[in-house]
Structure 1
Amino acid sequence: MAGGQPSRPKVSRVVAGMVSVALALAAAACSTATSQPRPGETGASARTSAGTCAPPPVAPSTYPTFATPPPASVALGSGWSAVLHTTCGEVSLVLDGKQAPRSVASFVTLARSGYWSPSVCHRLTSGRAPTAFLQCGDPTGRSTADPGYGLPLENVPADRTYRVGDVGVARGDGFPSTSGEFFIVHHAFTVGSGSPVYSLIGRVTSGLAVVEHVAGVGGEDFRDDGPPWQSISILRVDVRPR
């Protein structure tokens, strides 16, 4: 009986080794599956699916300001393409200068002036909040930046519903719309009667996974309206007529 005892640890070691190998293979498979892009995703959007974001840049000490809003003629009747280069990947937009000429003219002017280079996406609404969007465009990171003018409401959805991928202009105290801050919808929501509505300026055409990744991580301290837990900043915005 005593002579048979040493064989038991050997079996245990063999089993333990097999378990270790199995766990290693499972981990490798999980890592591979996590790092693979979703169907239709490439480049920055695919990398964001794996949860990779660069550290945020230092907030600028100054930013451009304007005495008056840019004329609607800058964008009137024109379609525009825009690319948000962010710390979590690229997000491409199409802007509708026909339906929202003053808001799109403002967006184009601020992008060309470097107003958002860089700027933080400082607000994520979700969960129990009445809206569901990622709000960006504040160079100070404290939602105190102001380019110097407000904007009227334009192109408000008739059904007051904002859909996934919609790009709208944020609202500010004293203005129907701000000019510096905008949002991207990550979950459809409908604005109730008596609640503020927002101007729509366009839609996301690619890179929505960037926004979905940030929204999926959630709000800071589990808040449903506050800074996103996953920091994301805009590095620059490129715009061009379509």
Structure 2
Amino acid sequence: MPEAPSSRRRNVRFLATVTLVVAALAVALYVAVVALRGGEPASAPAADGVSCTAPPLPPSAFPTFTAAPDASVAAGSSWIADVRSTCGDLTFRLDGRRAPRSVASFVTLARAGYWTDSVCHRLTTDPAPTAFLQCGDPSGRSTAEPGYDLPLENVPADRTYRVGDVGLARGDGFPGTAGEFFVVHRDFTVPAGAPVYSLIGRVTSGQEVVQHIAGLGGEDFRSDGPPFTSISVLSVGVHAG
């Protein structure tokens, strides 16, 4: 005998309730796991082969200087920077000819261990006007400075920054913030009147790490703020190249 309409409705409501309960339990379990892991999802290799480990605590102290390094440190040549991060390694080629003072600063800070266990604290994505992952903050709060500022160098004539470009970040009221650097994950053009940035080089390997972080987006869906997946720089080594 066919099931009565009222009985079918009760069954549908029962199944819907069970589904909602199961979904709620799954969400609760996920939140608990994330909390136990310090606020980050469990690390697992992504489709792009990138996986991340939990970042270390920021250092309690970092080197500071009384003056910017002399441009002669860069020796007007190219340099190789080997960047180890909690999500994989990157390699930069730095242009000491076009950005001698900026590259001299980068080389000096790397040799001093300024970026050891430092945080990549900022990711800009759509609809922000820029598109980069910003790293090099040993304070963990974007308040650290090495003790000097730098003038702008090697700014693109067309004000366009391209995927894989490495540049120096800028602080409010400063021409160039020497301590923090960024890697571009999507081409963008700076509009007239907006701040431009010094270019110091290009990524030669490991760009997939930056694309992976950018693809996961910003914390709380922000287009300019901490990345959803935390990433820190473990160390930076440099040598002439």
Establish whether TM, by shorter chain, passes 0.5: yes
TM-score between the two structures when normalised by the length of structure 2: 0.80
Amino acid at match of 1:138: D
Residue by residue over 1:3-43, the C-alpha shift from the partner in whole angstroms, topping out at 9 and shown as x without a partner, is xxxxxxxxxxxxxxxxxxxxxxxxxxxxxxxxxxxxxxxxx
Q: Which residue of 2 aligns with 1:141?
A: 140
- Is contact 1:48-1:89 (8 Å) kept? no
Residue in structure 2 matched with residue 226 of structure 1 by the alignment: 225
2:201 aligns to what? 202
CA shift at 1:141, angstroms?
Answer: 1.0
**Paired residue type of 2:224:** D
TM-superposed CA distance for 1:47, in Å, is 7.1
The answer as to 2:72 corresponding to 1:107 is: no
For residues 170 and 161 of structure 1, the distance between their equivalents in structure 2, rounded to whole angstroms, comes to: 15
What is the Cα deviation at residue 51 of structure 1?
4.3
Tell me which residue corresponds to 2:161. Answer: 162
| CA–CA separation in structure 1 for the residues paired with 2:49 and 2:78 | 33
Q: Does 2:176 correspond to 1:177?
A: yes
Distance 2:87 2:131 in 1: 19
Match for 2:71: what amino acid?
A: A
Q: Percentage identity across aligned positions?
A: 68
TM-score by length of 1: 0.80
SS in 1 for 2:101: helix
Question: Shift of the alpha carbon at 1:50?
Answer: 3.5
Which of 169-178 and 142-151 deviates more? 169-178
Question: Contact between 2:50 and 2:88, CA under 8 Å: does it hold in 1?
Answer: no
Q: Secondary structure at the match of 1:74?
A: helix
Distance 2:93 2:156 in 1: 17
1:235 paired residue number: 234
Shift of 1:76: 3.4
Corresponding residue of 2:7: none
Give me the whole-angstrom Cα distance separating, in 1, the residues matched to 2:169 and 2:224.
Answer: 14
Partner of 1:8: none
Whole-angstrom distance in 1 between the partners of 2:47 and 2:237: 20
Q: Deviations over 1:178-207 (max 9, x none)?
A: 110010000000000000000000000000
User: In the alignment, residue 157 of structure 2 is paired with which amino acid?
Assistant: A
Cα offset, 1:48, TM superposition: 8.0
Q: Which amino acid is the alignment partner of residue 205 of structure 1?
A: T
Query: Corresponding residue for 1:3?
Result: none
Which stretches in structure 1 are left out of the alignment for 5+ residues? 1-45
**1:49 Cα deviation (Å)?**
2.1
Say if 1:91 and 1:208, in contact at 8 Å, map to a contact too. Answer: yes
Aligned to 1:55: 54
Instruction: Say whether the 8 Å CA contact 2:50–2:209 is kept in structure 1.
Output: no
What SS does structure 1 have at the residue aligned with 2:163?
coil
What count of residue pairs does the alignment treat as equivalent?
Answer: 197
Distance, in Å, in 2 between the alignment partners of 1:49 and 1:87 is 16
